[in-house]
């Protein structure tokens, strides 16, 4: 029977209902596994608790050495990881090879180094009679839940800062994309990570996921996924008083001022809207374009979108594959249909392609105009290859519209004017603001949201704020039984 979990350093098989992993480019089942039946979550929590005392007391250099070996183990199977990622998600092999896999390995390498840099304030005599020391300690067992859009990268983002800081982890990947996360666990074993430091359980969110995050045996929940599920999980964490880190949905604005480089904005918008078939929480979804450039922008984007090559994900010539599932494709199609019914117009796309691609979960790159700012297609996350373009007349209007959604994950401003760029960077409510670009991320810099996009940071040493707790140790320096401050409490008796 196919491996479905990885607990205490051993591959195992769940005893729950069967789950199919489907290639969305043709609907064929590529793997069937038996999900967790509740037992594997408990077994994984046992293993993570057993591993915590030793792992949290390992020196930073010891943890770092193992994580460097993990980066090398992943590098050795990079092509296998890319093939598996493409098979289970439908993303073009070029994206898996050039973005998902190398980005994940770089993140592992970054945290291998960062494990030795857990910073804090200098020890000192902040009170004349005491020495204060800061300890930055691991939290304990972290329960992590990841989404399906970048399965390997999201697993790495959840696991690496946690274990680099000395925590142990039980991670549940999305049920439809478990393969590369299990390969990550195998690489952890080959790298010599002690058994139980990283444990993987697979199964549906409402059963396996919920039993993990509602357990009183986890010290922290770290969740990446939709805002609706994130809010539900926040309720479960609140009931237990569990620490929480939430990376949720996005609806990124893409603001094009009248002095922008139009060609750069057009190219940037198409790349940022279509990356990962639009299933990217930071994807450009709302282009606000100064009215003087609007028609040229719309024409340019539509032309470029029409030239994007849809095809088999394993073909290196393919620019855009299917969405991750037929369910997701139908969700996106229904949202676009409702937008059109309510007055929006599809300049290009707005439908699933026919011919050979009809057997997969494909959807054409889509550019919509005439949508209302208050409508669903502008306010809600689409998570598909769909860009909405809306005109604006003044800088203040552009910034007001950019902020006029519940989300706050990412945004970009396109201008040659340094003052406009600075004002956009300051005013837009988002965890990342790009200037004259949109999408690039880097391991040294944080990723995370504001508003309904969640709170806390992935990547960078900022993520250690989530995965460590700061302890103040204050030592008396006087050696006196009667401390000077005692007189405040009971005078000089």
Catalytically active residues are 247, 281
**Which DSSP letter does residue 121 get?**
P
Q: Is the dihedral of CA 257, 258, 260, 266 positive or negative?
A: positive
Helices (H), 77-144: 78-89, 93-95, 101-114
Phi, psi angles (nearest 5°) of residue 16: -90, -165
Q: How far is the CB of 399 from ligand NAD (least distance, A)?
A: 22
Is 321 within 8 Å of 287 (Cβ atoms)?
Answer: no
User: Are 389 and 366 spatial neighbours (Cβ–Cβ below 8 Å)?
Assistant: no
Closer by beta carbon to ligand NAD, 56 or else 453: 453
According to the binding rule CB under 6 A, does residue 145 interact with ligand NAD? Answer: yes
Cβ-proximal residue to ligand NAD, closest one = 205
Report, in Å, the least distance between residue 457 CB and ligand NAD.
10
What x/- string results for residues 427 through 466 when contact with ligand NAD is judged by CB under 6 A?
--------------------x-x---xx------------
**Using CA atoms, how far apart are residues 101 and 107, in angstroms rounded to an integer?**
10
Q: Taking a C-beta distance cutoff of 8 angstroms, is the pair 224, 145 a contact? A: yes
Q: Does residue 190 bind ligand NAD (CB under 6 A)?
A: no
- Tell me the number of residues near ligand NAD by CB under 6 A: 33
1-20 footprint of ligand NAD as x/- string (CB under 6 A): --------------------
Within residues 329-388, the interface with ligand NAD by CB under 6 A covers 381, 383
- Phi first, then psi: give them for residue 62, nearest 5 degrees: -65, -45
Answer yes or no: are the C-beta atoms of 361 and 329 closer than 8 Å. yes
**How many Å apart are CA 493 and CA 484, to the nearest integer?**
13
DSSP state of 461: G
- Chain positions 231 to 270 lying near ligand NAD, rule: CB under 6 A, are 232-233, 247-250
User: Residue 410 Cβ, how far from ligand NAD at the closest point, in Å?
Assistant: 9
Complex with ligand NAD: residue 246 or 265, whichever CB lies closer: 246
| Alpha-carbon span 395 to 376, nearest angstrom | 24
Query: Between 139 and 200, whose beta carbon lies closer to ligand NAD?
Result: 200
In angstroms, what is the minimal distance from the CB of 85 to ligand NAD? 14
Contact call for residues 64 and 113 (beta carbons, < 8 A):
yes
By the rule CB under 6 A, 225 interacts with ligand NAD: yes
Question: With binding defined as CB under 6 A, does residue 36 bind ligand NAD?
Answer: no
- 388's tokens: 């909405």
Of 270-329, binders to ligand NAD (CB under 6 A) are 281
Residue 194 or residue 209: which is nearer to ligand NAD going by CB?
A: 209
Beta bridge partners of residue 202, listed in sequence order: none
Q: H or E element: which one contains 391?
A: strand 386-392
Among residues 33, 55, 110, 148, which is the contact residue for ligand NAD, using CB under 6 A? 148
Which one of residues 92, 147, 194, 360 is an interface residue with ligand NAD (CB under 6 A)? 147
| Region binding ligand NAD by CB under 6 A among candidate stretches 23-31, 85-93, 100-108, 146-154 | 146-154
Instruction: For residue 124, give the DSSP letter.
Output: E
Ranges within 168-187 binding ligand NAD (CB under 6 A): 172, 174-175
CA 457 to chain CA mean position, Å: 10
The residues that touch ligand NAD, with contacts defined as CB under 6 A, are 145-149, 154, 172, 174-175, 204-206, 209-210, 213, 224-226, 229, 232-233, 247-250, 281, 381, 383, 409, 447, 449, 453-454
């Amino acid at each position: 029977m196919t491996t479905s979990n990885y607990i205490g350093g051993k591959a195992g098989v769940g005893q729950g209902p069967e789950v199919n992993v489907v290639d969305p480019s043709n609907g064929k089942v590529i793997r069937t596994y038996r999900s967790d039946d509740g037992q594997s979550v408990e077994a994984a929590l046992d293993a993570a608790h057993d591993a915590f005392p030793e792992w949290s007391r390992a020196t930073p250099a010891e943890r770092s050495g193992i994580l460097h070996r993990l980066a090398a183990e992943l590098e050795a199977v990079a092509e296998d990881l890319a093939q598996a990622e493409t098979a289970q998600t439908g993303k073009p092999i070029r994206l898996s090879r050039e973005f998902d896999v190398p980005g994940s390995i770089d993140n592992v390498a970054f945290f291998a180094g960062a494990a030795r840099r857990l910073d804090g304030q200098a020890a000192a005599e902040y009170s004349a009679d005491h020495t204060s020391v800061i300890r930055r300690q691991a939290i304990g067992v972290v329960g992590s839940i990841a989404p399906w859009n970048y399965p390997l990268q999201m697993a790495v983002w959840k696991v690496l800062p946690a274990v680099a800081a000395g925590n142990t982890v039980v991670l549940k990947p999305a049920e439809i994309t478990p393969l590369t996360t299990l390969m990550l666990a195998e690489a952890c074993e080959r790298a010599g990570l002690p058994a139980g430091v990283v444990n993987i359980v697979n199964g549906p969110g409402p059963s396996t996921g919920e039993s993990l995050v509602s357990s009183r045996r986890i010290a922290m929940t770290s969740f990446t996924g939709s805002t609706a599920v994130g809010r539900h999980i926040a309720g479960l964490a609140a009931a237990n008083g569990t620490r929480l880190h939430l990376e949720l949905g996005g609806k990124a604005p893409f603001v094009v001022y009248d002095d922008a480089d139009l060609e750069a904005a057009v190219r940037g918008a198409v790349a940022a809207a279509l990356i990962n078939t639009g299933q990217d929480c930071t994807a450009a979804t709302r282009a606000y374009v100064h009215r003087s450039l609007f028609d040229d922008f719309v024409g340019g984007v539509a032309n470029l979108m029409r030239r994007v090559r849809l095809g088999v994900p394993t073909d290196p010539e393919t620019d855009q594959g299917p969405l991750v599932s037929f369910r997701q494709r139908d969700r996106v199609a229904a949202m676009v249909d409702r937008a059109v019914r309510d007055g929006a117009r599809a300049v290009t796309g707005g439908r699933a392609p026919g011919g050979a691609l009809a057997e997969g979960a494909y959807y054409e790159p889509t550019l919509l105009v005439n949508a209302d700012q208050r409508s669903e297609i502008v306010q809600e996350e689409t998570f598909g290859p769909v860009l909405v373009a809306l005109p604006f007349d003044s800088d203040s209007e552009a910034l007001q519209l950019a902020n006029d959604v519940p989300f706050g994950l990412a945004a970009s401003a396109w201008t040659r004017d340094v003052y406009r760029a600075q004002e956009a960077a300051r005013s837009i409510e988002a965890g990342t603001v790009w200037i004259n670009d949109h999408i690039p991320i880097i391991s040294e810099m944080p990723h995370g949201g504001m508003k309904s996009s969640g709170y806390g940071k992935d990547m960078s040493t900022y993520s250690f704020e989530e995965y460590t707790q700061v302890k103040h140790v204050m030592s008396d320096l006087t050696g006196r039984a009667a401390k000077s401050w005692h007189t405040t409490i009971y005078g000089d008796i």
